[in-house]
Structure 1
Amino acid sequence: MSSLLILSLTNVTAGGRTIKLTHLDITSSTALLPALMKTSFSLALVVACGLVSGLAHGQVSPEFTRDKEGAKDHPLLKRIEGSIILHYATKKFDSHQVALGPVIFDYGEQKTKEWKKIDAEGARTTLFYREPADASTLECLRSYQTDLKEKGFEVLFEGSSNGKPQEQANTLDNGYGRFVAAVYQTEKDYGLQEYTLPGAEDFRYTALKKTGEGGAGDVYVTIFAAAVTDSWKDPEKGILAGTVVARVDVIETKALQNRMVMVKADEMEKQITTTGRVALYGIYFDTNKATLKPESDSTLAEVQKLMTQDSSIKLLIVGHTDNVGEFEFNRDLSNRRAAAVVEALTSRYGISSQRLFPFGCSFASPAAPNASEDGRSKNRRVELVKWN
């Protein structure tokens, strides 16, 4: 029921009756409106008070009664009936942290413990759904899981905000929104805060994977469903206390199309002579692994050619990473990757191990800001640094 609050009163005659207005219920007193409209002052009150009434009753802005313009469901996903897309974003190549376990803060060590994850890379789609008013976070999670399992996906991890981490392995964190902060901390451009998830108390998460076949890459899907609290509600978007908002990320993994020109041996020599180092982007590894991919062979052959042409040169093989994940994890990863390059050059290309030394820098020496995927891709590299 809508109501108009009259702040300055007047006598109104309607149907032979004169009434002094202090409150008007539009649903039961619509006959009075023509009389009210006779004065511009009364009209202003009707319009102004009607707007206040609409806001007070949480009217949804028209643009949030339908899917965001240009948004669409991912082909792999169905939506819950009655939900709408609030936010939609795609990138041809991006990374996404796929959580495989809880995020726990160690109060004794005063730091977050290492947590299990996969940094998936490939074509990315991010969607935010406002679920129907009667939907729960559990229904949301189960609906997506059921649909995806029928399409060949397996559940990698599932957790919720309920319970105690010490007692339940599937609890996502031990308070203060640490799971959201850790998993989505580098993704401000995807509207996480705009769509109220930091204010959730009842939330659930699941990660699923479909293994690629016939040359197709693996596909990862993560779903984070949260029931909004009163302090974070947004009536204009139709998000009231208890409304479930679901964030869905789909990563279709694939190798990054190499836009970098492969560095030839002569160019390597020129850059090393001029700057003391050369950055190589043609050496490839799987995410979070130190196993060289076959696509690296052409660049490794050029390094062999460089070291054959100059039999006296010694090189530091320096691994670099982006800043996704903990520093020590990336330091170890970058060191193992550098060691893998040394191993390949010695065992497969006949270069003496006395002329090579592996070293891992983690993300201590970025070539570009880590704020975007383009910058992070420039930071994931191997450098040859002259040693002698």
Structure 2
Amino acid sequence: MPIHTTPIAKIKRARTTLKSRFIILSLGLAASWYALMGANPAAALDFALPENAVQRAQRTEVATLQPLPSGVFSGPNTPFLDAEGRVSHAAYSLTSTSLTSFQLIAPLRAQLEENGYNIRFACADTVCGGFDFRYLLDLLPEPQMHIDLGNYQYLLARHPDGDVAAIVTSRARTAGFIHITQISPNDTGAVTVEPPTAGLPDAADTTLTTNLPSRGSTGLIRELNARGAFTLDDLTFETGSSALGDGPFKSLQQLAQYLMQTPEVRVVLVGHTDTQGELDSNIALSRKRAASVQDRLIKTYGVAARQLSAEGIGFLSPRVSNATKDGRNTNRRVEAVLATTP
């Protein structure tokens, strides 16, 4: 598993292809990728977590490729470590804690080193690359795993036997969050993945989820609960243009209603493009599209500017193939990503 430099688009396509094959062959449903509050996933190292840490979500995959950033974000030249084998992801939260992101990750790093792991890379939020670096990470969704884009820690380690571990820690106002990814190359047995539970987890999770409003925009709220993001599917953008269509757009009405009813919530509007053109120009274009949506929400719908920010990742996260016109239309989109835990 050597460290090498790979274009991000190639890494993303490889990840998408391998995981799609895994889902089709093993589960038949993309919705079965993660389970809430299930048993602990198989892991190479059994971490000792703080007493008040509660597992919120998990996902386990078998015989798949897991690209992990092994250096700071540098566009297409970002280095990755390609780990292959059985992959387990687990997300934990700690309520009512004052521990910082660094204080959360430091004892986990010590446990890795005590068990013979070599630290390959470690960084913090803006040093890592901020937003751009975070969206290279394959993490379980909000609200089970919350990432403050200005307050997170990342650590990548490898054992001489080949096991790999990647840890991310972050904070909300009164809660801490830990995400642990472990890859075991010698463990390629059958995978067991439970489907998502209906509704929310049990009462132990109420501090993270039950403050979401139940009034209005119910489809948007359900999707934010399920994956931490909502796709504004009815927006229209032409190839190469950042101009938002005239509308009106139902998705913007729903999002505006939700934000105005929950002034403590903040979302990041993330723009996406098709693959026509170079990566850098597409990233710039996708940011402009997200900014157009941000501007519309503020000026037309009266959403508070402090609740919105705009970013773009170009064509690095396609939903479908860009080989057809319909596929390109589907991939040109803006998503609202939950950036705070209500």
Q: Give the TM-score taking structure 1 as reference length.
A: 0.31
Tell me: higher relative CO, structure 1 or 2? Use CA pairs within 8 A at least 6 residues apart.
2
Q: Highest CA radius of gyration, 1 or 2?
A: 1
Q: Give the TM-score taking structure 2 as reference length.
A: 0.35
